[in-house]
Amino acid sequence: ISFVGFAVVDRLLRHGYTVRLALETQEDLDKLREMEMFGEDGRDGVWTVMANVTDPESLHRAFDGCAGVFHTSAFVDPGGMSGYTKHMASLEAKAAEQVIAACVRTESVRKCVFTSSLLACVWRQNYPHDRRFPTIINENCWSDESFCRDNKLWFALGKTAAEKAAWRAARGRDLKLVTVCPALVTGPGFRRRNSTASIAYLKGARAMLADGLLATASVETVAEAHVRVYEAMGDNTAGGRYICYDHVVQRPEEFAELERQLGIPRRAAAAAAAAQDSGDRPARFELCRQKLARLMSTRRRCTYDDYYSVAFD
């Protein structure tokens, strides 16, 4: 059950929404009960239902009656050792197609908020180099899938391919789609609850650090962004993609602390050395979150639909 997904559910409940939580396995349901996060089924405004992202019928049943879907699923390595793999990147794209197709098919569903990643925006080979000012990375920027594949950036490849698949599946359909592209998600317990995604995100981190592209986002910020864009979709003031981050990592010691928290200090030392080798060279890129900042600065709407489904893998 995804780290971001839990935070989105919690934020929806705090704002007075009712949530239907789509779980893939009985094991997920058992874990949820052990954590005692939402009480008995339906008691705290959360209902659970079984669904599988590879089974269109189960997705349709899970979404039926819901006004909107938050697709926050996180793919993890079942063995817990090898991290995010090329095969998982392929699964992520296929799952995105299935979820959007199920949203389109389900008459009650009008809106979908899709969790992508900042990594779907930053990896390209042919950015300009000798510029007086840094190149702005905003929602118009897409990572190059061939570049990600050639450099074995599987997490970035999966997020890029999945988001593109979602947009293709929604094109021309009666469904409002918005994607949120968060930076490395941090927060209480992120090593324990989000370690695979965090470590996978940091593949290529030395280059991101040197170029001004390594950023973090608290899980609370990411959850609030999901809810705010969802609400703004109702009057068409939200649309397209939204880059989401709190802080750009600029100092080697900051990055070393991040990787220490994830239990991989040797990589941190290597990254710190690489950053120091770059001297005082200014970053080639500058991340831009103005689109989300403008939306988050507006007053929250106070109208609620009845059901919101959060799809997990």
Count of CB atoms situated within 10 Å of the CB of 244: 28
CA 11 – CA 262 distance, rounded (Å):
26
Using alpha carbons, list the distances in angstroms from residue 55 to 33, 89, 94, 225, 258.
24, 18, 11, 29, 37
Please report how many Cα atoms fall inside a 13 Å half-sphere around the Cα of residue 216, on the Cβ side. 15
Q: Are 245 and 291 in contact (CB under 8 A)?
A: no
Length of the chain: 313
Helix H segments across 234-277?
252-261, 265-277
Burial of 295-313, coded b for 16+ CB within 10 Å and e otherwise, reads bbeeeeeeeebebbbbbbb
**What element of type H or E holds 209?**
helix 205-211
Catalytic residues: 159
Using alpha carbons, list the distances in angstroms from residue 46 to 17, 23, 70, 131, 310.
9, 12, 14, 51, 10
Euclidean distance between the first and final Cα of the chain, in Å?
6
SS3 244: strand
In sequence order, what are the residues at sequence separation of 6 or more whose Cβ sits closer than 8 angstroms to the Cβ of residue 228?
Answer: 238, 295, 296, 300
Q: What's CA 188's distance to the chain center, in Å?
A: 17
